[in-house]
Amino acid sequence: MSISEILRREPVTLAPHDTVARAAELLVEEHVLALPVVEEGKLVGVFGLHELVELLMPRAVRLMNQGLEGLTDLDFLADTLEDVRQRMDHVCGTEVGEHLERGSERTPLDPASSFTEALFLGYRLRRDLPVVEKETGRLAGMVSPWDVLERIRRS
């Protein structure tokens, strides 16, 4: 039993030069936590809600993920929803290829991976997971812990 039977084989994908605006639209429309970014059929990374939310924060805050330590909480900022919208406008035109989740071009999941492996990875990454053909590196489909749960309910 492998995840091949629950694979969503023709998922909605992004290209690296698609805009962040397009990605945001698709994330909302498809109601998924992450979209695979594909170039010539091959997975080049993942852009998801997490990356989008990161772009909506002040630039200094975004550096926190990279080792800066000085900000412990942001309550002191007088930000309004309008400020968040302005930052959104600011990044909307940029390409998703610049903002991929780090290391997300590598995934251990291929169609022969087990359910437990998919659950384990979903537990760690908290998003939808790309599944890649081992030999070619081509995107085979997407899978999420939801798909495993639904499969259990059906059996």
Partner 1 sequence: MQEGVTSGGHMLFGWSMLWVASILFGVTYLVIMSEKINRAIAALLGAGLMILTGVLNQEMAIRGVDFNVLGLLTGMMVLVAITRKTGVFQYVAIWSAKKVNARPMGILFMLSAVTAVFSAFLDNVTTVLLIVPVTLLITEELAIDPYPILAAEIFSSNIGGTATLIGDPPNIMIGSAANLSFNDFLANVAPIIPLIFLLTVVPIAFVWRKRLVTTEEHRRRVLEFREGEAISDPRLLKKCLFVLSLVILGFLFDRAFHLEPATVAMFGAALLLLLANVGRDAEEQSREVHEAFAEAEWVTLFFFVGLFIVVKGVQHAGLLDMLAQGVLDVTKGSLHVTSYAVLWVSAIASAIVDNIPFVAAMIPVIQDLGHALGGPQNLRIVWWSLSLGACLGGNGTLIGASANVVVAGFSERAGHPIRFIPFLKVSVVAMLTEVAIANAYLWLRFLH
Q: Which of helix, strand or coil describes residue 119?
A: helix
Asked if 61 touches partner 1 (CB under 8 A), the answer is yes
Our CB check for partner 1 shows the closer of 94 and 136 to be 94
| Residue carrying the six token digits 């749960």 | 149
Give backbone dihedrals phi and psi of 119, rounded to 5 degrees, phi first. Answer: -65, -45
Only one residue has tokens 């809600």, namely: 49
User: Which residue, among 49, 31, 39, has the nearest Cα to 13 in the 3D structure?
Assistant: 39
We find the least distance from the C-beta atom of residue 65 to partner 1, in angstroms, to be 10
Which residues does residue 141 pair with via DSSP β-bridges, in sequence order? 131
Complex with partner 1: residue 60 or 149, whichever CB lies closer: 60
Nearer to partner 1, 58 or 111 (CB): 58
**Binding to partner 1 in span 66-95, by CB under 8 A:** 66-73, 75-78
Would you tell me which residues interact with partner 1 (CB under 8 A)?
A: 58-61, 63-64, 66-73, 75-78
